[in-house]
């Protein structure tokens, strides 16, 4: 399937920001409706992937590229299946491999300019081995759900994109001038993820959403300047929790898939409007997209808790507390690492001046 930058009537009547808002919101909602309607395992995965692929200001991958992306994810997750038994038999060696793989995944995202493959690789090196500790059947089911979720997210974007295309000649994103800092940013992101991975091993079945959150947080932290980190990391987590509570409360009026999808569409439109500055605000696009992904993860876990007969509100409070904890940890880690880095630079400059 190949997409062209057309100049049909929609491009004339809808501004570019509006088209991007509708594209992100409808792709996210369609992927959610498909996963819950078809009763696919871990249904919140596909909407999260839809946010990742639809928020890029570019056409969706065509057929060969999409197939390559899905196969890449299957291969990345298979690595996790292989690391799982090693984690139980030789934990130190396995942890070194996981640390190196997590660093490389951030390197792929930051230096290679491929954030989605980098995120997929990070999932393979962390989430799957952690699930395998609990059960090999859980790890296999998770691999199937993640691969299918990515395929559904891309399919949803294919369905939505012709109605809300990009402009004929979209502006190219400017290259970052912080290439020399790539190693440092990758290390910082890795140090955000690894403690969350270690904590997930204490109860993999319950804490897997927490680990997914830490991966997204590490990805976000690599793009942040220190002075905005608190607002972005903690603020987006709180915003996602608030949105999840609002949607869950609204679902009490009608527990139906169409009603659920309608609320997700409305909230996604609001978040996308903030992301693309349809209404002026001080927050970055990363803040809004991470708030939306946090909401989807928390809501998906709440739906699963409800189906399993668990206390949804207690589980939500525990999960939200863990999300805030890892956000605060990421913020403190960034502060300490930057302080240590400044001290090293000052010491080096003093030695040179003597």
Task: Give the pLDDT score at 71.
Answer: 92
**Tally of domains within the chain:** 1
67, 74 Cβ separation under 8 angstroms: no
Place of tokens 């929790």: 241
Q: What pLDDT, in 10s, does the model give residues 89-145?
A: 888 999 999 999 999 988 888 777 788 888 888 888 998 998 888 888 888 888 888
Residue 322 belongs to a domain: yes
pLDDT tens, position by position, 260-311: 999 999 999 999 999 988 888 888 888 899 899 989 999 988 888 888 778 8
Look at residue 262 and tell me if it is in a domain: yes
pTM, to two decimals: 0.84
Structural domain includes residue 4: no
Asked whether residue 91 is domain-assigned, the answer is yes
The answer to whether 143 touches 78, Cβ cutoff 8 Å, is: yes
| C-alpha radius of gyration, the chain, whole number | 20
| Structural domain includes residue 175 | no
Q: Which helix (H) or strand (E) holds 174?
A: none
Q: Enter the tokens of residue 89.
A: 């038999």
**Domain-located, residue 61:** yes
**Structural domain includes residue 177:** no
Please indicate, yes or no, if residue 20 is contained in any of the structural domains.
yes
Domain membership of residue 330 as a residue range: 9-166+182-346
């Amino acid at each position: 399937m190949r997409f062209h930058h057309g100049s049909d009537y929609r491009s004339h009547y809808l501004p570019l920001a509006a088209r991007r808002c509708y594209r992100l919101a409808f792709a996210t909602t369609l992927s959610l409706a498909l996963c819950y309607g078809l009763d696919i395992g871990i249904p919140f995965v596909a909407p999260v992937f839809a946010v990742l692929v639809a928020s890029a200001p570019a056409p969706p991958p065509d057929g060969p590229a999409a197939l390559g992306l899905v196969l890449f994810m299957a291969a990345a997750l298979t690595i996790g299946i292989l690391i799982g038994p090693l984690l139980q038999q030789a934990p130190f060696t396995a942890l070194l491999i996981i640390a190196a793989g997590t660093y490389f995944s951030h390197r792929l995202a930051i230096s290679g300019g491929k954030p989605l493959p980098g995120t997929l690789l990070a999932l393979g090196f962390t989430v799957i081995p952690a699930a395998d500790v609990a059960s090999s059947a859980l790890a296999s089911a998770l691999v199937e759900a993640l691969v299918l979720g990515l395929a559904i997210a891309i399919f949803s974007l294919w369905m939505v994109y012709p109605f809300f295309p990009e402009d004929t000649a979209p502006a190219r994103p400017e290259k970052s001038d912080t290439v020399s800092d790539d190693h440092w940013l990758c290390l910082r992101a890795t140090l955000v993820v690894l403690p969350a991975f270690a904590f997930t091993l204490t109860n993999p079945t319950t804490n897997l959403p927490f680990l997914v959150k830490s991966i997204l947080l590490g990805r976000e932290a690599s793009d942040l300047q220190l002075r905005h980190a608190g607002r972005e990391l903690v603020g987006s987590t709180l915003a996602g929790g608030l949105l999840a509570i609002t949607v869950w409360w609204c679902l009490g009026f009608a527990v139906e898939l169409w009603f659920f999808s309608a609320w997700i569409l409305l909230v996604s439109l609001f978040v996308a409007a903030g992301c693309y500055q349809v209404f002026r605000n001080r927050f970055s696009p990363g803040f809004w997209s991470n708030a939306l992904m946090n909401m989807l993860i928390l809501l998906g876990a709440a739906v699963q808790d409800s189906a399993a007969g668990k206390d949804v509100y207690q589980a939500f409070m525990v999960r939200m507390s863990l999300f805030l904890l890892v956000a605060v940890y990421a913020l403190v880690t960034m502060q300490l690492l930057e302080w240590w880095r400044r001290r090293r630079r000052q010491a080096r400059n003093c030695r040179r001046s003597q």
